[in-house]
Amino acid sequence: MEWSGESSAEASVGSFSGHIQQAQPQFAQQIGEAWGKTFIVWCPKTTDVEPGDTLTIASGDYAGTYSVKNSQVHAVGQSVQHLELTVIRDLE
């Protein structure tokens, strides 16, 4: 979000590589969402993203705008950590 005087606008602040997959319907129930499709995004632990952020995928099967609802660190095995984001794609 960028501010100018008393108004704000969304701004592109960067990009990251990750993997996205549609989540099971119970994920939407767990975060209290009913208006959209729920997805999980896996990305590097160092990715600067947090709940409330908006992600945009410009092209491909998953193109759209997503709202980040949850972010948590997960480990694969004993040492490889990654960030798991729960996101909602707005219905159009």
pLDDT tens digits, one per residue of 8-27: 566 666 666 777 877 776 66
| Residue 5 placed within a domain | no
pLDDT in the model for residue 70 = 86
- 59 lies in which domain range? 22-89
Report the pLDDT averaged over residues 18-38.
Answer: 70
| Angle, CA 62 vertex, CA 71 and CA 86 arms, to 5° | 15
Determine the average pLDDT of the residues in 13-42: 72
Whether 41 is covered by a domain: the verdict is yes
- What's the whole-number mean pLDDT along residues 31-55? 82
Q: Give the N- to C-terminal CA distance of the chain in Å, as an integer.
A: 23
Domain tally, the chain:
1
Residue type, 62: Y
As a whole number, the mean pLDDT across the chain is: 77
In a domain, 10, yes or no: no
7: in domain: no
**Overall average pLDDT of the 25-49 stretch:** 76
**Is residue 57 assigned to a domain?**
yes
